Amino acid sequence: MKTFNSSLFILIFIGCFANAQETELSESMMRGSEIYADFCVTCHLEEGEGITNTFPPLAKSDYLAQNRQESIRGVKYGQQGEMVVNGVTYNNIMTPMGLDDEEIADVMNYIMNSWGNTSEKIVTVKEVEAITK
C-alpha cells in the first residue's frame, strides 16, 4: 500500500511537472506570437511560409529544426549571406531586431512549435543569454 501510495505520488508529481512545463511553453508561445506579429510577419508571413527565393520559410523548415543555436543567434544578432532552407538557397539579410533575451526565447518557442514545427525542448532565457556573436 505504501509503495502504491508513493508511486501515485510520484506519478502525480511528474504529471504536475509536465503540465507546468506545458503551461510555461504555451505562455511563452502566446507572448511569442505577439512578437512575431510585430517583428517577423512582414517577411516570413502569417503561416511562416516566407517567399521562395527571397525570405526563407519557417514552417517545416529543415534549417530551423537542425540549427537551433544558429537560428537563435540569427534572431539575436541578425544574419546575412547564403543559407539553404528546404533545398532552396537564400542570400539575403535579416537585420537585428533589437529584441531582449526573453522576447527572443518567446518568439523562438512560437516559431519552433507552430505550423507543423515541433521542438522537444523549450528555449529558455538562459539559453538565449548564453549565445554570443
Partner 1 sequence: MRNSVLTIALAAITLSYSCAQDPENKVDTIENPPYSAQLIIDELQTPWGMVFLSENELLITEKSGELVHFKNGKKISVKNVPEVYNRGQGGLLDIELHPDYENTGWVYISYASEEGKEKGGHTALIRCKLDNNSLTNIELLYKASPNTTKGQHFGSRIEFDNEGYLYLSIGERGARDENPQDITRDGGKIYRFYDDGRIPEDNPFVGKEGAKTAIYSFGHRNPQGLAKHPDTGEIWDNEHGPKGGDEINIIKAGANYGWPLVTYGVNYSGTSITDKTEMEGMTQPIHYWVPSIAPSGMAFVTTDNYKGWKGSILVGSLKFQYMERLEMDGTKVVKREKLLTDLGRVRDIKEGPDGLIYVAVEGKGIYKLVPKN
Interface residues with partner 1 (CB under 8 A)?
37-39, 41-43, 45-46, 51, 54, 80, 92-93, 95-99
Beta carbon of residue 98, minimum distance to partner 1 (angstroms, whole number)? 3
Beta carbon of residue 22, minimum distance to partner 1 (angstroms, whole number)? 25
Residue 96 backbone class (left: φ over 0; alpha: ψ -120 to 50; beta: rest): beta
Alpha carbon distance 34, 107 (integer Å):
8
Nearer to partner 1, 6 or 54 (CB): 54
Nearer to partner 1, 5 or 95 (CB): 95
Cβ distance 128 to 101 under 8 Å? yes
